[in-house]
Structure 1
Amino acid sequence: MPYLERRGDVFVLYLGSEEQHGADEENRFHPDVLARLNALLDEVEGAEGPAALVTTATGKFFSNGLHTDWLFANPGEMHGYLDSVHALYARLLTFPLPTVAAVNGHAFGAGAMLATSHDFRVMRADRGYWSLPEIHLGMPFTVAMNALLTHRLTNQVAVKAMTTGHRFGADEAISAGIVDTKAGADSVLDIAVEQAAGLAANRKPNLAVIKRALHGAVLADLATPTTPENLAFGV
């Protein structure tokens, strides 16, 4: 399960489990993982004073996104499950602390969108892709996911990413504006923590207000309930 560590003013949120630290976990969004992530974010929000958040993982993957095994085993809970994923994106977009994603490895699908929900992104330089493979899986984007991606990416980058499933390495992701910078495998987290620490003093009451206004256009769509009418797998 996800866990926290603290480095000075920076909280580091690991998507994988502490027991498997360093292993190649896929870090998919099982409902229990989503609940744990929200509980840890509550803990971070409850801290006093200057603070910032870095989200990362260890091993080969940042996150492979939706937990498709659970999803297809529980089709009756699909829409509520997707809404909980959307709610996590909205929470990060408006998080009252500066946020940085340290993308240590592959970020696919909903995992790529998780990285994109942070204020800033540092990506591993030598290995790993940011990619939206839904086109190859026969899966549409929800109203909320479409809104997030078209809000955070330029139109032509969104077209390339969403309609081709293109895999962006670090250099191409920087050129496309998907991530902000890159770092070596051993320094991705350190660079992200350094960046976050430099922003920690911006943790003031007005930060969330600014973020809500900044992302106002997408937040309403992120709150749109997923229904059979606006989601049809396989179309």
Structure 2
Amino acid sequence: MIDVTDHGGVAVLRLNHGAVNALDLELLSALPGALSAVAGAPAVVLTGAGRCFSAGVDLKRIVEGGAPYVAEFLPALSTAVLALFDHPRPVVAAVNGHALAGGCVLAAACDLRLMSAGTIGLTELAAGVPFPTVPLEIMRHATGPAVSDLVLTAHTLDPGAARAAGLVHDVVSPDDLLPTAVRRAEHLAAAPAPVYALSKEQLHRPTHDRITRTRPLDDPRVLELWSSPTTAAILRNFLDMLSSRGK
């Protein structure tokens, strides 16, 4: 589900979960543990297996599981994204293919984002679901004013456009992606570990303050909308549309 390899001391975590590394309860529950297991590594690289970094939330599981599944899934999503965002050592995203919706959020939770192929963006509104507080605030931290356009239009960007928008830091060829990500991670890890961790904590503090302030208000409304029969019908139609495009 998450393959872990050592590259000269840098821990490479590779999402390896189905054809497109879709985010479900099991994958999200595994991510904090995988990060804890490599806590001693000087840096971490997050990438995907196959042709995708992650195509986002497994919407079929959302529809099939209904409200009980959603009630477990949404907190697991926020917990996983926060574990990545708050990891004290450098974390580099090596975006090797499509990074959509929740996949885009995972990349945004990393300190540095490199991309080689595919598209990246926030497609939640196209699917008819709102953002939980944690993913939204982490996107705000990563992209600043660009977050409004990303959220409200649901546009996806190719690597060059993503770099221009500040969503990724550099575009790298597919063959060079992982070696470059490891090298950049090593460079970030050259700073003393306590200094890097404190600097990261200081940079993230405004995001945590917003999460603490708004989560009690927003997340119950998000849960209600994700769990509603109306949303389930919208998601079924969205999945049908995606299926017809793939034929």
Per-residue deviation, residues 133-175 of structure 1 (Å, max 9, x unmatched): 11211111122222222222131x2222111111111111111
The residue number in structure 2 matching 1:60 is 51
2:160 to 171, 174, 182: 171
1:198 aligned residue: 187
Q: Give 3-state SS (helix, strand or coil) of 2:110's partner.
A: coil
Distance 1:116 1:57 in 2: 14
- Distance in 2, Cα, partners of 1:38 & 1:54: 14
* Alpha-carbon displacement from aligned partner over 1:75-106 (angstroms, at most 9, x marks no partner): 22313321221122222222111110000000
CA spacing shift, 1:80–1:207, aligned 2, 3 Å: farther
Greater displacement, 105-114 / 63-72: 63-72
Query: How has the CA–CA distance of structure 1 residues 203 and 104 changed in structure 2, closer, same or farther, with 3 Å as cutoff?
Result: farther
Taking the aligned partners of 1:222 and 1:70, their CA distance within structure 2 comes to 27
Partner of 1:213, secondary structure, is: helix
C-alpha separation in 2, matches of 1:222 and 1:86: 11
**Superimposed CA distance per residue, residues 178-211 of structure 1 (whole angstroms, 9 cap, x where no aligned partner):** 1010111111111111111222233512333322
Distance 1:196 1:171 in 2: 22
Q: Tell me which residue corresponds to 1:130.
A: 120
2:32 maps to 1:38: yes
Structure 1 residues 222, 86: closer, same or farther in 2, change over 3 A? Answer: farther
The structural deviation recorded for 1:43 is 1.1
CA-CA distance at 1:73 after TM superposition: 2.4
Moved more, 84-93 or 164-173: 84-93
Question: Alignment partner of 1:215: what SS?
Answer: helix
Q: Specify which structure has the bigger relative contact order, considering alpha-carbon pairs within 8 angstroms and separated by 6 or more residues.
A: 1
Give the 5 Å matches for 1:98-117: 98-117=90-109
Alpha carbons 1:98, 1:203 under 8 Å: kept:
no
Query: After superposition, where does 1:1-235 map in structure 2 within 5 Å?
Result: 1-16=1-16, 25-45=19-39, 47=40, 51-74=42-65, 75-124=67-116, 127-155=117-145, 157-202=146-191, 204-222=193-211, 224=215, 227-231=219-223, 232-233=225-226, 234=231
CA distance in 2, matches of 1:39, 1:90: 12
- Which amino acid in the other structure matches residue 91 of structure 2? T
Identity over aligned residues, as a percent? 29
Instruction: Report the TM-score when normalising by structure 2.
Output: 0.82
Residue segments in structure 2 that go unaligned for 5+ positions in a row: 235-247
CA distance in 2, matches of 1:163, 1:227: 18
Q: Distance in 2 between matches of 1:41 and 1:143?
A: 22
Q: Is the 8 A contact 1:71 1:78 kept in 2?
A: yes
| Residues 33, 198 of structure 1: alpha-carbon distance in 2 compared, 3 angstrom cutoff | same
Structure 1 Cα separation of the partners of residues 193 and 208 of structure 2: 21
Deviation of the 1:37 alpha carbon? 1.8
Distance 2:86 2:31 in 1: 15
Q: CA RMSD in A?
A: 2.1
Unaligned runs of 5+ in 1: 18-23
Give the TM-score, by structure 1 length.
Answer: 0.86
- For 1:144 and 1:35, the matched residues in 2 are separated by 16
Task: Pick closer, same or farther for the CA change 1:79–1:100 going to 2, 3 Å.
Answer: same
Amino acid at match of 2:52: F
